[in-house]
Structure formats: structure tokens, C-alpha cells
Amino acid sequence: MTRVMRYLSTRGRSPAVSIGPAIARGLAPDGGLYVPEALPRLELEAFARDGTLAATATTLLAPFFAGDALENELPRICAEALGLDTPLRTLPQQNASVLELFHGPTAAFKDFGARFLAACMSRLPRADDRVLTILVATSGDTGAAVAAAFHRKPGLRVVILYPDGLVSPRQAHQLGCFGDNVYALRVAGRFDDCQRMVKAALADPALQATVPLSSANSISLGRLLPQMSYYAHAALGWWYQHGTPLNVIVPTGNLGNAMACLWVRAVGLPIGKVRLACNANATLPDFFAGADYMPREAVATIANAMDVGAPSNYERLRWTFPDGNTLRRLLQAHSVDDDAIRQTITGHARAYGDVFCPHTATAVHQLDQQRKAGDAEHWAVVATAHPAKFETVVEPLTGQPVTVPPALAAMLARPASAEPLAAVDAALRDWLARQPS
Ligand SMILES: *Cc1c(COP(=O)(O)O)cnc(C)c1O
């Protein structure tokens, strides 16, 4: 009998599926999130010492792909998507290190998930040979990563909706500079309008009959699972060098990146303590401080990719740790306001010459707080984006221009354009219906 990894919905009312259909669907039909029936256990000995990130990912993710048509493709998917550097850079004066996740084409960790999802989607069986349109609503980083990952993938088209004037100029440029099979629509509204329009299109059977649609939502397992690979890779490297588990501080919004870290610990790899760093959106910190879970409206901060009041992966967190008190013992979360983020960016640039993006700075601030409280352990701070993506925040604080990484510079040098779209559901429906299949 062959093993099959089956995925269930966190809400328990969807049929079990293997990884391919779970990735194709994104959200389970009952509105829940797909989770593995049981998390596998992995042995350290299964991993090659000094393997590449792609090799680590292939070993780590094999049990998650077991029994699916994509299983045999996994090594090629990992090689295609995860050939990116993820250095664990030492901060010698601070007994800490930085896990840099910003060496992909769009300079944020979203590249890992988007590229893996694209590599999976281009291999999934399809009902017919019509173009599949991937819809994305974005407030910045996700849209660029998805555009870069799906650019020129045959049989696939990406349509990005973003709120006109509410993303940074560099972010808007990144969204509009691809062309070919990537379409950027600047919506005369807010991020919530973009998200509502995408949901309405996905839920419209008549539209789906003429224009096959899918999404690249952050709750997709196709984005979550590959994010486990850099934690596994860093933790194994640390373990072989130092013989201790790696403690990690993760900047957190929708809990996707942090969930991946917790699953790596849960499958038996040497991740030690995990702390979540949030911006002024304190839904998780309040819960971990003992309050009931209370999702709320997001407030705007300078770490805007983490402006989340109702973390979309919370259901996965509770599936993994059903007992609230156990969960609170295993994990901590802290909230950092914009002033503290600014002071952290300025302080570390002055004292050590290290320049962090505002999201990464939430985790660095958490590290500083732990040091003040007497903690002397080694911690890895997760750097989720390159500071050059947020130069309008960072440069006035450090007084220095941030050097733009080459991939980002190349993107900014290309011409960019986006079509305007009204913030009503019918506008997107009509736009999609006009596209050639
Ligand atoms: C998306 C994002 C985050 C938040 O990650 P989650 O998986 O939503 O918790 C943090 N930093 C940056 C730069 C991001 O783009």
C-alpha cells in the first residue's frame, strides 16, 4: 500500500485531498484552511549535511507530497523555485544572527512561496487547455512576488489588483513592470475593495465558466510549505556547527511565515524557542497575554506588510495547538509601535551599521527588549524584506541612501504601467470577460 498524505480542512467539513488538489483550490470548500491529517516526523539523519536549500526542501517536503501526482516532480519544483540564497548572517556584537530572506527577485520572503506555488501550478493537471487566470489582491509585497514568479509561465496569466496611490512608488513600479502575461490593475479604492472584488470573481460560476480562475492567496499550502525549507536549512546548519537548536524571532502579520517555522519544530527539526514580533496590530500579542482571541480592523503602520487585525493562518495555529494554555506556554508574541520601530532602525544603524526594513526591525526590537531583561541566549532574527523596498521610511531615519540590490534595480529600470479600474465587482468581471482565452 502506498502512503498518501491527506489534507483536511480546519473546519472539518471538506473531503480529504492530497497536496495537488489542496494547492489547486487554495481555500478548502467549507471556507477552512487545509492542514495535513497529521504532521510527519523527520529524522536529522535524513538530511544531507551541507545540502542546498532546494535539497533540504526536497527531503523536508517529500512526506507532504506523498501519494500525489506532484510527488515525482518535487525535486524539480524545489530546484526551480528555491535556488535562492538564505544566509544566516552573524551579528557578532549581539550574540545574534539575521536569517536574510530577501535575496529573491522582489527582495522579500514572499518570493519563496510565490515561486514554489508557480512551479506547482504549472505542473497541475487541468480540465482543458484554456489559460488559467491567477487573481491577486495586494497591498504591496505579495503582488510583486507573484508577478515575478508567474511571469511568462505558459498557460497561466496573473491579474494583480492594488489600491491606487496606497502602495509605495517602488511597489507600484514593481507591479507594473512585467507585462506579457502579467496585468496590473490600479483600483480606485482601498485594499479591502481589491480583496472583495477578487473574492466575488472567484465565487462567480458564470464568470468561471468563461474565464477559468484561481488565486495565489497567502493561505495556500503551496506558499506555506516552501517557507518551512529556510527554517529547516538554517536550523540544520546551526545544529551541525553548534550542537544547539536555533531560537527564532519572526516578524508576523498573517502568521504564514511563523506557522512555517512552528511546523519545522513540530516535525522534529532543531528549532528552539520561537517569538512573534508584531507591529501595533496586537491581536496575537493580546491573545498570548491571556485575552480571548479578538480579530479586529487593522491599523496602518510603517511595517505595512504586517498590518493585519485578523491573521489568516490563526485557524492553522489552533489546529496545530488546540489547547490555548499549552500554546501560550510554547509561544510568545509582542507588539511594537511605530516609534519603537523607528528608534530601532536608527539605533542599530548608528551603533552597528546594520540597516533593517521596518518589518525586520520589529523582531530586532524584540531582541533588544530581551537583552534588557537579561536574556543572553543566541537568537536568529528573521529579515523579511530588504530595506531598499522601504527606502521612504528607512533613509530619513539613517540619513544614508540604501543600496538597491541588483534584481530590484533591474526591475525599477524597466518601464511600468497599470490600467485604472473602478472599485466595483462588476468592473473586474467585465475586464476579465474581455480578455482573450
Ligand atoms: C508578508 C510580510 C510579512 C508578514 O508575513 P506573514 O506571513 O503574513 O506573517 C512581514 N514582512 C514582510 C516584508 C512581508 O512582506
Q: Ligand 1 pocket: which of 33, 109, 249 to mutate (most atoms <8 Å of CB)?
A: 109
Residue 224 Cα to ligand 1 middle (Å): 12
Residue 250 Cα to ligand 1 middle (Å): 9
Mean pLDDT of 234-245: 97
Query: For ligand 1, atom 14, which residue shows the shortest CA distance?
Result: 305
Query: For ligand 1, atom 2, which residue shows the shortest CA distance?
Result: 305
Question: What tens digit of pLDDT does each residue of 396-423 get?
Answer: 999 999 999 999 999 999 999 999 999 9
Name the pLDDT band for 202 (thresholds 50, 70, 90). confident
Mean pLDDT of 25-42: 93
Q: Phi and psi for 103 in degrees, rounded to 5?
A: -100, 10
pLDDT at 274 over 50: yes
Q: Ligand 1 pocket: which of 306, 341, 382, 408 to mutate (most atoms <8 Å of CB)?
A: 306
As a whole-number percent, the residues of the chain with pLDDT over 70 amount to 100
Q: Which atom of ligand 1 is nearest to the CA of 141?
A: 15
Q: Which three cell numbers stand for residue 371?
A: 537583552
Q: Ligand 1 pocket: which of 102, 141, 275 to mutate (most atoms <8 Å of CB)?
A: 141
Query: For ligand 1, atom 7, which residue shows the shortest CA distance?
Result: 256
Mean pLDDT of 298-302: 91
For the chain, domain boundaries: 81-109+222-403
Task: Measure the CA–CA gap between 86 and 238, rounded to whole angstroms.
Answer: 13
* Strands 132-137 and 156-163, bridge-based pairing: parallel
Residues in contact with ligand 1 by the CB-under-6-Å rule are: 108, 110, 141, 251-258, 305-306, 359, 384-385
As a whole-number percent, the residues of the chain with pLDDT over 90 amount to 86
Which architecture characterizes domain 81-109+222-403 according to CATH? 3-Layer(aba) Sandwich (3.40)
Residue with cell 492553522: 316
Higher-pLDDT residue of 359, 437: 359
pLDDT at 139 over 90: no
Q: Phi and psi for 134 in degrees, rounded to 5?
A: -95, 120
SS3 for the chain is CCCCCCEEECCCCCCCECHHHHHHHCECCCCCEEEECCCCCCCHHHCCCCCCHHHHHHHHHHHHHCCCCCHHHHHHHHHHHCCCCCCEEEEHHHCEEEEECCCCCCCECHHHHHHHHHHHHCCCCCCCCCCEEEEEECCCHHHHHHHHHHCCCCCEEEEEEEECCCCCHHHHHHHHCCCCCEEEEEECCCHHHHHHHHHHHHCCHHHHHHCCEEECCCCCHHHHHHHHHHHHHHHHHHHHHHCCCEEEEEECCCCHHHHHHHHHHHCCCCEEEEEEEECCCCHHHHHHCCCCCCCCCCCCCCCHHHCCCCCCCHHHHHHHCCCHHHHHHHEEEEECCHHHHHHHHHHHHHHHCCCCCHHHHHHHHHHHHHHHCCCCCCEEEEECECHHHHHHHHHHHHCCCCCCCHHHHHHHHCCCCCEEECCCHHHHHHHHHHCCC
pLDDT at 1 over 70: no
pLDDT at 249 over 80: yes
Buried b (16+ CB within 10 A) or exposed e, 173-210: bbbbbbeebbbbbbbebebebbbbbbbebbebeebeee
Task: Measure the CA–CA gap between 320 and 257, rounded to whole angstroms.
Answer: 15
Residue 362 Cα to ligand 1 middle (Å): 11
Question: What tens digit of pLDDT does each residue of 155-192 get?
Answer: 999 999 999 988 888 889 999 999 999 999 999 998 88
Question: What tens digit of pLDDT does each residue of 41-80 get?
Answer: 999 999 998 899 999 999 999 999 999 999 999 999 999 9
Question: What tens digit of pLDDT does each residue of 364-396 get?
Answer: 999 999 999 999 999 999 999 999 999 999 999
Q: Which atom of ligand 1 is nearest to the CA of 227?
A: 7
Q: Ligand 1 pocket: which of 223, 257, 393, 408 to mutate (most atoms <8 Å of CB)?
A: 257
Residue 325 Cα to ligand 1 middle (Å): 26
pLDDT for position 314: 94
Residue 305 Cα to ligand 1 middle (Å): 5
pTM, to two decimals: 0.96
C-alpha torsion angle, residues 34, 278, 214, 136 (rounded to 10): 180
Query: For ligand 1, atom 1, which residue shows the shortest CA distance?
Result: 305
pLDDT for position 2: 59
Residue 253 Cα to ligand 1 middle (Å): 6
Residue 370 Cα to ligand 1 middle (Å): 22
The chain-wide mean pLDDT, for the chain, equals: 94
Residue 252 Cα to ligand 1 middle (Å): 6
pLDDT for position 11: 93
